[in-house]
Amino acid sequence: MLKNEIKVAIAGVGTIASGLVQGITFFEEHQDKRKNLLHPSIGRFEAQDIKIVAAFDVDSTKVGKDIAKAIFAPINSTPKFIEVEDTGVIVNKGPVKDGLSDHLKKVITIADGEEVNVVEKLKETKADVLVCAIPTGAEEAVIAYAQAALEAEIAFINCTPTTIACEPSWARKFKKANVCLIGDDLQSQAGGTVLHKGFLDVLKEQGVTIKDTYQLDVAGGLETLNTLDDDRKQYKREVKERTLKQSFKNDINLASGTSDYLEFLGNRRIGHFWIRGEGFMGMPVKIDMRLETLDGPNGAATLIDVIRATKVAINRAGSGPISSICAYGFKAPPVFSDRHNAHKWFNEYLEGIRTE
Ligand SMILES: NC(=O)c1ccc[n+]([C@@H]2O[C@H](COP(=O)([O-])OP(=O)(O)OC[C@H]3O[C@@H](n4cnc5c(N)ncnc54)[C@H](O)[C@@H]3O)[C@@H](O)[C@H]2O)c1
318 CB under 6 A from ligand 1?
no
Predicted local confidence at residue 209, as pLDDT: 93
Predicted local confidence at residue 246, as pLDDT: 77
Ligand 1 pocket, mutate which of 18, 57, 131 (most atoms under 8 A from CB)? 57
Predicted local confidence at residue 32, as pLDDT: 77
301 CB under 6 A from ligand 1?
no
User: Could you tell me which CATH class the domain 192-294 is placed in?
Assistant: alpha beta
Which residue intervals of the chain bear CATH 3.30.360.10?
192-294
Within the chain, which residues score under 70 in pLDDT?
Answer: 1-2, 248-250
Which residue intervals of the chain bear CATH 3.40.50.720?
6-187+297-351
Task: Give pTM, 2 decimals.
Answer: 0.96
Q: Which atom of ligand 1 is nearest to the CA of 14?
A: 21
Cα dihedral across residues 74, 76, 79, 85: positive or negative? negative
Cα separation of 221 and 301, whole Å? 17
335: left (phi over 0), alpha (psi -120 to 50) or beta: beta
134 CB under 6 A from ligand 1?
yes
279 CA to centre of ligand 1 in angstroms? 41
Cα separation of 31 and 237, whole Å? 37
Predicted local confidence at residue 249, as pLDDT: 65
243 CB under 6 A from ligand 1?
no
Helix (H) or strand (E) holding 75: none
Nearest to 249 by CA among 209, 192, 199, 277: 209
Count of residues in the chain: 356
Which positions ≥6 away from 115 have C-beta within 8 Å?
93, 94, 95, 96
Predicted local confidence at residue 51, as pLDDT: 97
Q: Which atom of ligand 1 is nearest to the CA of 144?
A: 31
13 CB under 6 A from ligand 1?
yes
- The string of pLDDT tens digits covering residues 121-172 is 999 999 999 999 999 999 999 999 999 999 999 999 999 999 999 999 999 9
* Cα within 13 Å of Cα(241), Cβ side: 18
Assess contact for 275 and 1: CB atoms under 8 A.
Answer: no
Which positions ≥6 away from 281 have C-beta within 8 Å?
none
Burial of 19 by CB count in 10 Å (0-12 exposed, 13-18 middle, 19+ buried)? buried
Cis peptide before 184 (omega within 30 of 0): yes
298 CB under 6 A from ligand 1?
yes
183 CB under 6 A from ligand 1?
no
6-187+297-351 maps to which CATH number?
Answer: 3.40.50.720
Cα separation of 127 and 152, whole Å? 9
| Eight-class DSSP state of 185 | S
Predicted local confidence at residue 337, as pLDDT: 86
Ligand 1 pocket, mutate which of 15, 116, 131, 307 (most atoms under 8 A from CB)? 15
Predicted local confidence at residue 225, as pLDDT: 93
14 CB under 6 A from ligand 1?
yes
Predicted local confidence at residue 131, as pLDDT: 98
